[in-house]
């Protein structure tokens, strides 16, 4: 097989090319041992993918009461004998070679879209979603990397780092510097503003944590992290960060 997914709550998989395997994507439980229920994942979305010259495209344990929520969008099957197989019943849900759209899971009417939005041309591959590899910054000199802890941020989960982080981000964007967040929990009690031109990288999922009275009122929502401003045009790079909250934060907009 090309890819085996044992278990996790949710996956989004994008831009896979699978060719000349016995099975392409296998989403069948088993990591739990002899008492495993057979469920693969909580939900899986597969987008902009090609599976070719592979007898079994996707094998999933789509069991009745413990079912994987499963979405295929813009997935092409070429010279595939069985596109989607329910392994628990040995049933072929979609035996074809072609391109299209397939859903397994509960329908949520509130999320249905007008047919005019997704379009109807499922007989051929559509343009893929925009994507690019995340930057590595290997060639950046050390002098061009700003370590937020070295510049005064604490990241201890207690100290309010709002002012110092906003100052660092503003200066870094003006000098095209890379802002590095060492592992930690950086508390902000007001909006953290990320200007156009920012390049930010965390370590082991560093956290930006919204906390305090400014994020409490659900009738007056407020951004914890604001990426750019209305009308801005440019590039911002953010990776390996988590955005979280602490305490009563019903009015917090995690990222705007």
Candidates 219, 220, 151, 232; CA nearest to 193 is 232
The CA-CA-CA angle for residues 186, 231, 227, to 5°, reads: 15
pLDDT band at 28 (very low <50, low <70, confident <90, very high): confident
pLDDT band at 38 (very low <50, low <70, confident <90, very high): low
pLDDT at position 34 is 61
**Residue written as tokens 């944590």?**
209
Q: Is the pLDDT of residue 114 over 60?
A: no
What number is the average pLDDT over the span 3-8? 82
CA distance 126 to 235: 26
> Which is it for the CA torsion 148, 154, 158, 164, positive or negative?
negative
109 vs 56: which has the higher pLDDT: 56
CB-based burial label for 86 (10 Å; 0-12, 13-18, 19+): middle
The CA-CA-CA angle for residues 84, 10, 183, to 5°, reads: 145
SS3 letters across 5-29: CCCCCEEEEECCEEECCCEEEEECC
pLDDT band at 65 (very low <50, low <70, confident <90, very high): low
**Residue written as tokens 């990241």?**
155
Lowest model confidence (mean pLDDT) among 40-54, 58-72, 74-88, 174-188: 58-72
Structure tokens of 193?
């503003």
pLDDT band at 32 (very low <50, low <70, confident <90, very high): very low
81 three-state secondary structure: coil
CA distance 182 to 205: 9
234 three-state secondary structure: coil
pLDDT band at 172 (very low <50, low <70, confident <90, very high): very high
Q: pLDDT tens digits for 184-219? A: 999 999 999 999 999 999 999 999 999 999 999 999
What number is the average pLDDT over the span 239-244? 97
CA distance 98 to 50: 10
Lowest model confidence (mean pLDDT) among 21-30, 66-75, 151-160: 66-75
pLDDT at position 109 is 58
Eight-state DSSP code of residue 90: T
pLDDT at position 7 is 75
């Amino acid at each position: 097989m090309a890819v085996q997914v044992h278990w996790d709550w949710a996956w989004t998989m994008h831009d896979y090319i699978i060719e000349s395997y016995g099975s392409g994507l296998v989403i069948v439980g088993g990591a739990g041992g002899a008492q495993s229920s057979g469920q693969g994942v909580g939900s899986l979305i597969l987008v902009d993918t090609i599976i070719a010259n592979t007898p079994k495209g996707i094998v999933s344990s789509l069991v009745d009461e413990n079912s994987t929520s499963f979405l295929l969008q813009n997935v092409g099957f070429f010279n595939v004998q069985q596109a989607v197989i329910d392994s628990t019943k040995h049933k072929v849900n979609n035996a074809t070679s072609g391109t299209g759209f397939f859903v397994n899971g509960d329908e949520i009417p509130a999320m249905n879209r007008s047919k005019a939005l997704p379009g109807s041309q499922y007989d051929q591959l559509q343009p893929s979603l925009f994507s690019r590899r995340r930057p590595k910054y290997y060639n950046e000199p050390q002098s061009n990397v700003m370590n937020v802890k070295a510049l005064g941020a604490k990241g201890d989960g207690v100290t309010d780092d709002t002012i110092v982080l906003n100052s660092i981000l503003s200066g870094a964007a003006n000098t095209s510097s890379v802002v590095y967040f060492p592992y930690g929990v950086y508390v902000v009690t007001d909006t953290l503003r990320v200007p156009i031109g920012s390049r930010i990288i965390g370590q082991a999922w560093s956290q930006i944590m919204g906390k305090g009275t400014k994020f409490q009122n659900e009738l007056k929502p407020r951004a914890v992290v604001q990426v750019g401003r209305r009308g801005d045009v440019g590039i911002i790079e953010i990776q390996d960060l988590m955005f979280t909250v602490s305490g009563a934060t019903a009015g917090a907009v995690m990222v705007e």
